[in-house]
């Protein structure tokens, strides 16, 4: 009897080892695919960057559209770098240092870029800024990624116009992305993809990670200008609240909703 139990245990251990071996091989295969994608993305971005440099020199009258292309290119370069970090080709902490960010300027560029990119009939973004010229310490591209994802969600799932609203108070600056739709139908914490394999639903995860990287929070809001999501960030240039760009972030619980002024 003892001998039979030993054989069963040995068989179970062997089966578990085989399962882990298959999983490891599958993971290696997927990471190889990521490496190939990253390589092709770098190549495509190199070509796009060269073409954009030529456009910037020759199309002064099309400056807003060219700047929109350049901004999308810079964002794609950042994503390509993140892919390299994810597969271990670059150390997570190598590439970015926090810097002072003028949020009024960042929000203005965001609005100009989207307005230059949106096709006719898709409405325009409106900037309602009453926050002065607040400065935060952080990573401009990460905050741009966060706001781009919130704007994209508002355009796709909401109803125009989309307003970027800036307010300041209590040591924080808030940037709200609002539209005239019905707002979120579920709590913010539940709006995440059911698995990493899902093709959609990752935008809020990206936005939350970027905001929490800066010591900030996301929360749903609604008010006279519409419904949407508010980004709250601590103001100032001190580095205490800013995490390293590659440091994992534990999700924070966001508020359940507040009135947008």
Q: What CATH code is carried by the domain that includes residue 111?
A: 3.30.565.10
Share the mean pLDDT of the chain. 75
For residues 113 and 71, is the Cβ–Cβ distance under 8 A? yes
Tens digit of pLDDT for each residue in 150-188? 998 888 888 878 999 999 988 899 999 999 887 776 666
Q: Tell me: do 81 and 115 sit in the same domain.
A: no
Question: Is the pLDDT reported for residue 252 higher than 60?
Answer: no
Query: Would you put residue 162 in left (φ > 0), alpha (ψ -120 to 50) or beta?
Result: beta
Q: Tell me: do 136 and 190 sit in the same domain.
A: yes
pLDDT at res. 240: 45
Q: Tell me: do 61 and 119 sit in the same domain.
A: no
Q: Tell me: do 130 and 160 sit in the same domain.
A: yes
Q: Tell me: do 166 and 61 sit in the same domain.
A: no
pLDDT at res. 150: 92
What are the residues whose beta carbons fall under 8 Å from the beta carbon of 36, sequence distance 6 or more?
none
d(CA 208, CA 231): 9
For residues 139 and 121, is the Cβ–Cβ distance under 8 A? no
Q: Tell me: do 247 and 156 sit in the same domain.
A: yes
- pLDDT tier, 85 (very low <50, low <70, confident <90, very high otherwise): confident
pLDDT at res. 188: 63
Helix (H) or strand (E) holding 35: helix 2-58
pLDDT at res. 160: 77
d(CA 91, CA 107): 30
Helices 63-86 and 103-117: angle between axes, nearest 10 degrees: 110
Tell whether 94 is covered by a domain.
Answer: no
Tell whether 93 is covered by a domain.
Answer: no
Q: Tell me: do 43 and 128 sit in the same domain.
A: no
Which of the pair, 151 or 14, is modelled with greater confidence? Answer: 151
Number of domains forming the structure of the chain: 2
Tell whether 92 is covered by a domain.
Answer: no
Tell whether 91 is covered by a domain.
Answer: no
d(CA 260, CA 53): 41
pLDDT at res. 173: 95
Task: Quote the pTM value.
Answer: 0.69
Q: DSSP state, 221?
A: E
- Choosing from 61, 86, 111, the residue where a domain stops is 86
For 86, the 3-state DSSP assignment is helix
Q: Tell me: do 119 and 180 sit in the same domain.
A: yes
Q: Which residue is listed with tokens 């093709």?
A: 199
Residues 144, 146, 152, 154: is their CA dihedral positive or negative?
A: negative
Domain range for 170: 99-259
Using a pLDDT cut of 70, give the percent of the chain over it. 61
């Amino acid at each position: 009897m003892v001998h039979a139990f030993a054989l069963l245990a040995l068989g179970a251990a062997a089966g578990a080892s085989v399962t882990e071996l298959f999983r490891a091989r599958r993971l290696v295969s997927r990471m190889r695919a990521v490496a190939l994608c990253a390589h092709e993305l770098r190549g495509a971005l190199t070509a796009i960057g060269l073409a954009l440099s030529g456009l910037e020199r020759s199309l002064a009258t099309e400056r807003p559209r060219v700047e929109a292309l350049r901004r999308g290119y810079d964002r794609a370069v950042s994503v390509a770098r993140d892919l390299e970090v994810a597969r271990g080709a670059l150390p997570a902490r190598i590439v970015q240092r926090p810097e002072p960010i003028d949020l009024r300027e960042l929000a203005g560029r965001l609005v100009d870029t989207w307005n230059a990119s949106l096709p006719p009939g898709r409405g325009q973004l409106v900037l309602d800024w009453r926050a002065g010229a607040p400065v935060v310490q952080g990573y401009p591209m990460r905050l741009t990624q966060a706001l781009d994802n919130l704007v994209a969600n508002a355009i796709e799932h909401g109803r125009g116009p989309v307003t970027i609203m800036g307010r300041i108070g209590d040591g924080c600056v808030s940037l709200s992305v609002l539209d005239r739709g019905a707002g979120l139908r579920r709590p913010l914490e539940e709006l995440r993809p059911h698995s990493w394999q899902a093709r959609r639903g990752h935008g809020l995860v990206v936005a939350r990670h970027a905001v929490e990287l800066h010591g900030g929070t996301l929360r749903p809001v609604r008010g006279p200008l519409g419904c949407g999501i508010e980004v709250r960030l601590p103001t100032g240039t001190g580095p205490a609240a800013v995490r390293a760009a590659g440091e994992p972030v534990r999700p924070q619980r966001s508020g359940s909703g507040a009135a947008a002024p």
